[in-house]
Amino acid sequence: MDFLTTDLVDAHEETVRVLDPMLRHFGGATRFCGPIATVKLFEDNSLVRAALSEPGAGRVLVVDGGGSLRCALLGDMLGELAVQNGWAGVLVYGCVRDSVALARLPLGVCALATHPKKSQKRGEGRRDVPVRFGGVDFVPGHWLYADEDGVLLADRPLW
C-alpha cells in the first residue's frame, strides 16, 4: 500500500477524523485500509468470530470491546480466519493474544495491549452499528486508513 496517513490528513484535513493515539500494531501489515464493519461487545468474542467467518472483501473489522484489559478478543486462530476470508485488518478497542503469531500474518491488527486470557463465548453483542472510542465515530461503510503514524477515518475512499 502506498498511502500515508500524514499525506491523507494534509490533503483532506477538513473531512477526515483522526483516532487518538492509543493503539499499538500487532499484525504483520502495519499499513492497511478498507471499508469499516463493526462489532460492539464486552469480554465476549463470539461476534468477532462470526464476522471474520464471512467474506471480508478487503474490509476492516472494528471491535469495540469497551476498552477492557481483562481478556483478549482476537488471537492467532481468528487472525488466520480473517486472512483466509479476505479481511484487510482488525482494530480492537481491547486486547489481543498470540502476538508473535499475529505479527507473522499479512493482516493489519491494532489493539490497546496483549493479554493471555481468552474471552467468554456467550454470543452477546451487536453487529454493524456505529461505535465510538478514541474521540471518533466508526460508521459501517465509512473508510479506515491505518499506518505507522496513526489511524484516520473518512466518509469515502481517499486513496
What's 91's domain CATH number? 3.50.30.40
Q: How many domains does the chain have?
A: 1
Binding-site positions for substrate: 75-78, 97
Range of the domain at 89: 5-126
Q: What's the predicted TM-score (pTM) here?
A: 0.97
Average pLDDT of the residues of the chain: 97
Percent of the chain residues past pLDDT 70, beyond the cut: 100
For 3-26, what is the mean pLDDT? 97
- Residue 93 has what pLDDT? 98
Is 156 exposed, middle or buried, given 0-12, 13-18 or 19+ CB atoms closer than 10 A? exposed
Three-class secondary structure of residue 9 per DSSP: helix
Binding-site positions: 75-78, 97-98
Task: Report yes or no: 133 and 93 within 8 Å, Cβ to Cβ.
Answer: yes
Three-class secondary structure of residue 93 per DSSP: strand
pLDDT tens-digit map of 34-54: 999 999 999 999 999 999 999
For 4-16, what is the mean pLDDT? 97
- Tell whether 157 is covered by a domain: no
